[in-house]
Structure 1
Amino acid sequence: MSASSPSARPASAPLCLLFDSDGTLVDSEILLAEVMGDVLPEYGLPFTARQYMEAFRGVRFHDIVAAQQRHHGNLTEDSLARLETSMRTRMQARMREELIAIDGMPDALDALACYPKAVVSNGPDSKIRCAMVSAGLAHHFGEHLFSAYTLGVWKPDPGLYLKAAEAMGYPPERCVVIDDAAVGVEAGLAAGMQVIHLNHFPDEETTPEGAIAIYHARELPAVIERLASTVTNAEEA
């Protein structure tokens, strides 16, 4: 975790927004799919970009590799280390050159400037930072970046979002998770948080019961304002 100690909660912000990174804030999923589709076969693990997009979006890298090893044989510790280093190096190079924000997300973040917000990702801290800088979103989050690798808990375990909420100074019921992947939506719901599912593939994916589906980032500010109004009205009742 690289987030600094949170400041006092602004009176005007009844909610804290917890954003996933890959596929939610930044359009990195296809880049990661292509990199993994290139690197894993080099180490004897057949894998394609399509496999990633269809079955492994948002899943921890080590879990993806473990799944492939169960089918194709185990690698040595040295090979695993070299595989991960190669993947991380290539991915960061692709992000620096090609990464952009999810369509509509910069405007949505501008509209939500009054809300405290954080990035909560299954990726390493270095990847989160690279993504935010490369896509021009770093100023929205500052040091409020929470990595599963630092905190030692990965989505779909709700612990990652719960630890981020605690560090931000908000109870779970005052947090809104914004995530595009099934593992993140599951984690947010299990944490007892409001969950907005940014569903990029509505013809293929169903938003779980209890989560709110949106299909474009432009929809996000209105949904957040509605949730915030509900909280404020409940407090004033």
Structure 2
Amino acid sequence: MPKTFPTPKLVIFDCDGVLVDSEPVSNQAMADNLAHHGLDLTLEQAMAHFTGGTMAGVMAKARSLGADLPENWIAEIHAETYARLKEGIPLTQGIPDLLARLDAHGIPACVASNGSEEKMRITLGQNGLWERFHPQAMFSAQSLGVAKPEPGLFLAAASHFGVQARDCLVIEDSGSGVTAAVRAGMRCLGYAPQGGGGRLTALGAEVFNDMAEVPALLSI
């Protein structure tokens, strides 16, 4: 018999790859940029190496793989990535219905991302969610100075809403995000729309493939 959980008192969404389908565009921009700095990666390789990381971590990883990056590289890649994102990023399929279901049950939702508020303004602003979450329900690692896989970002969100960690549910698509949720003592759903969620499962997530599955997992 499957394990049942109480309905959460707060749902914490990652942004890129969970609320918005931005990871392919961001990582293609990354691959294109790194090719100019001596490191050739496919889109799939870029996503495997960099999804869920901080930009400082991405920079260190890219250098370890052989990229010759200038000191101002983070500003450079931000500018190139944001320009691509401004061309148009869709919401993840099923997110509007899921948010409506949470609203109908009076369950608050927020965003906790390793990305910057500027990036979230671009991606969420195109889809009407910037106004929903900003500023009371948006937690950026760049603003708070603590990033996944450390748990502080999620714990800050729980504290803001006055909810115990055990009563929160996190929806993530990256290993660093799942690790942060587990370290925070929060139940975590791992979104793997293309399948292959074995790594997220191994890190402690309950893997699902479609946002339409989430209400049943939340008992709503």
**TM-score interval for Structure 1 and Structure 2 normalised by the shorter chain:** 0.7 to 0.9
Code of the aligned partner of 1:200: P
Shift of 1:117: 1.3
SS class of match (1:120) = strand
Q: Larger Rg: 1 or 2?
A: 1
73 and 22 in structure 1: CA distance in 2 versus 1, 3 angstrom threshold = closer
158 and 69 in structure 1: CA distance in 2 versus 1, 3 angstrom threshold = same
> What is the aligned partner in structure 2 of residue 121 from structure 1?
113
Residue of 139, 148, 171 corresponding to 1:146:
139
Shift of 1:14: 5.5
Structure 1 segment 40-79 matched on structure 2, within 5 A: 40-72=34-66, 75=69, 79=70
Code of the aligned partner of 1:25: L
Shift of 1:204: 5.6
What count of residue pairs does the alignment treat as equivalent? 210
Task: Give the unaligned 5+ runs of structure 2.
Answer: 1-6
> What is the aligned partner in structure 2 of residue 189 from structure 1?
182
Note if contact 2:82-2:119 (Cα within 8 Å) is conserved in structure 1: yes
> What is the aligned partner in structure 2 of residue 8 from structure 1?
none
Looking at structure 2, the residues matched to 211 and 90 of structure 1 have their Cα atoms a distance apart, in angstroms, of 32
Looking at structure 2, the residues matched to 93 and 168 of structure 1 have their Cα atoms a distance apart, in angstroms, of 34
Shift of 1:209: 6.3
TM-score computed with the length of structure 1 as normaliser: 0.80
Structure 1 segment 1-237 matched on structure 2, within 5 A: 15-72=9-66, 75=69, 79-81=70-72, 83-113=73-103, 114-143=106-135, 144-203=137-196, 205-206=198-199, 207-208=201-202, 210-225=204-219
Task: Give the unaligned 5+ runs of structure 1.
Answer: 1-12, 227-237
Identity in percent: 34
Code of the aligned partner of 1:22: D
Code of the aligned partner of 1:43: H
Shift of 1:210: 4.3
SS class of match (1:208) = helix
